[in-house]
Amino acid sequence: MTSLLGVLTLASACASSAAVPARLGPVLDEAGLSAPAWREAAVSRSLRREGRSHRFWTVVARLGSRTLRLEVTSGLSPEAAERMREDWGVRVRALYRPATTNYFGVTQGGKDTPEELKPQALYPDRGLLRRGEPVFALWSDKDLSYVLRSRAEAAHRGLSVFRYCRRTRTLVQVETFEPAGGFDLPAALRDIAAVQCSGGAE
């Protein structure tokens, strides 16, 4: 006799599979984003999670040699969205501090990350009276992880930026990953600048 848990697990898996869009366009529409150049990107992963008060959605897509990853969080106030943005910046910088582990007072030093592999915070919208939102330029390994300790691990380079859409109370972290050898920073900044909330509701 099939257990109730097994039935629910199977039903959940089927629903999740059925909900995976083939292209990024419907994902952008649901998230409230406009990114015309990315709409035909092929979705390779779509994972939704329900939290106590928020909904989370991770989507990975391919566009040529580029990988796109969206982390969508719905049901956020502007204040909560700002805290999430700030927390992410703190956490990603912390990844590149010298690795130390303390066991009963014994500290073991780890290998430092080369300076060239550390996150670079850019402010392309900086003006005379405003700093603008940061765009992080980051290296990552073949699995799209930012934890690097040597240049040999650096397979990709890309950008990470947040967009908060007030109309839908949705925060989206937009990440791009490109083969490190072909990364064009000015072009990548232009592309990611075109990713905006639909209707300008940011």
What is the DSSP secondary-structure string of 50-67? E-SS-EEEEEEEEETTEE
CATH classification at residue 68: 3.40.1000
Structure tokens at 119: 């996150």
Q: Give per-residue burial for 129-167: e unless 16+ CB within 10 Å, then b.
A: eeeeebbbbbbbeeeeebebbeeebbbbbbbbbbbbbee
Structure tokens at 169: 């109370």
Q: Is residue 78 part of a domain?
A: yes
Whether residue 118 contacts residue 96, with contact meaning beta carbons closer than 8 Å, is answered with yes
Identify the residue whose tokens are 């939704």: 48
Question: What residue numbers bound the domain in which 140 lies?
Answer: 20-95+113-200
The confidence band for 7, taking pLDDT boundaries of 50, 70 and 90, is very low
Question: What is the pLDDT at residue 1?
Answer: 44
Question: What is the pLDDT at residue 148?
Answer: 84
Q: Is 143 or 8 the better-scoring residue by pLDDT?
A: 143
Q: Is residue 139 part of a domain?
A: yes
Q: Is residue 74 part of a domain?
A: yes
**Is 64 buried (19+), middle (13-18) or exposed (0-12) by CB count in 10 A?**
exposed
Q: Is residue 1 part of a domain?
A: no
The pTM score is 0.81
Question: What is the pLDDT at residue 114?
Answer: 87
**For the chain, how many structural domains are there in total?**
1
Whether residue 46 contacts residue 23, with contact meaning beta carbons closer than 8 Å, is answered with no
Is residue 99 predicted with pLDDT exceeding 70? no
The confidence band for 138, taking pLDDT boundaries of 50, 70 and 90, is very high
